[in-house]
Structure 1
């Protein structure tokens, strides 16, 4: 018995209804990898839909419609793509022109090829999807980015230019950095009993101060007020940052002028030193711009992606879907006559575009701070070097700090 030719309108309507059905199912659950068992349990539903299609559009296309169900299940985020696949199926098997049918079959094959990693992803095999995505990303990476060097280790070198981590070669996380009245750099590592280091205007370390225990307890200070390291509880201060004296003096020895300009009656800050690379003080004027001077983002290479869904405040019915893409950001640092082409792992959330992020410029302690995402460059007119800092994530309280000395000649 000759099969009847199904109407195009029926193909369109069934495609649309199946899209709405599957979208409704997915939208009510968390699509994280932890729910792959759920997807396996509901997979027989697609077989039922295939049987229904068998009776709706006749037996000779049931096998193709099963493939179609898988396609629409994977493309639930885009109704346009789903309907395109439905149209391709119609033209592949029912259009009279053999030429049109061949073109449609090629399009259907291409759609199925790209659906394979999506199918694997939705059934929990995210590693396969990410492997395919990374392979494709490697194949399409422009050749000029292959020479970029990873931002890792204590020393980063690119084409004869070198930046070194501070303190030199110690692989330390820095918690605080500021410029004293003599235009010297003071930095502190993130250890409670660590070191303070001082650098001159040429970028040479000229002194250190070790923070030790006092009376068997950690020596916890209140920070630098002006150029003085203050211990309000112990009523003492240390002037090492400005004059190299490592001993602690009684706070009563401060002059009236120093007391007035450093602390008030309640021992709260009037002139507390601010970290050069901190985001805590939003009162400092800043300029946001697409202008790139020293930090120049170049390219973002996507290697994997994911998403999760979380409930609203109080566990209400409102839910929020967070998506992300993990990959490698390629960027250039151009400062003091030196250029570094670097690469570093980064994550983009909710379809953001790192390459369009604004650059922020601030004037701090007589110098200029340029900030792009997790990366910052600080230059000072009295220095023969620049500082480059990067954080693992933007609002971290600690960072890696590198020194880039001026190019000689």
Structure 2
């Protein structure tokens, strides 16, 4: 190695040493690394982290030996301003030769022999490659553990927050806060913290999150029902008035239509408002817990909206029958004009079919089904039987 080459190699090794030191310091300050150092691990995670720690121990031994070689190289270089042949040879040996000594590991007694242990000698490059491999094993374990913790621990935090909120809401409402899954968050947290690389608890956590979320939502609705009952009751009373008005319009529509259109018995509008009003009165005096009262209140609000919508739809459908009759009358008139253009206005069959359809459409009450069929028969007749 030339003097310039030795100087250059020493500078590069110093930069390399600083870089390695920086990575090791970052590793030691890593949150997951610090948690794992004092954690009581088990299962697959314990096995994986034990292997990573063995690699880490080798890494630190190698790093100390590597740094010792560089300190010796820097000492040799500092002996004289201009390196002599002896210094250059020593630097070449340190920087290029197998100068890093990795002491033989102390083996368990069952794996020892009576021969003296043999230290391993590595070049600086080989030492860095070996350290990088050990560093990769440690960071791989950290990343795998971190990935599980980053996904599951926040969800467990949220589940525990839900559990606390459930207890507070239940106490506020005088409800029983007992859940079969009360101990589940603690059990799952222990599994995730102690063995994140073990059997997945994600399905159990999914079930727990749904259970707690549903129970919390139920209690939130109950609290809202209690706090907003007076206002919601007033709104329900107004909504029941809308149902009465809509049902009155449906009855009026039925009265107008039934004399003009033949209606089946089931077309008679049926009132739901009295039953809904009775349900509201029963809710007022109910001594049930607010969870049940809240469910009944929400159901009653839905039923009231549905009843108003059904009554309006019934009235619209009834008036629509008159529109349908008028539409059939218009079609019959248009077909009569078409028949005249074709010279079929006086044809016996066409005339008979026309008169039959007209009689049905202008009778009261009108049978719309038969009238529609009669109009279609007349249409086919003037089109030569075409569909």
TM-score range, shorter chain: under 0.3
- Which structure dedicates a bigger proportion of its chain to strand? 1
TM-score w.r.t. the length of structure 1 is 0.21
Q: Which has the larger radius of gyration?
A: 2
- Which structure dedicates a bigger proportion of its chain to helix? 2
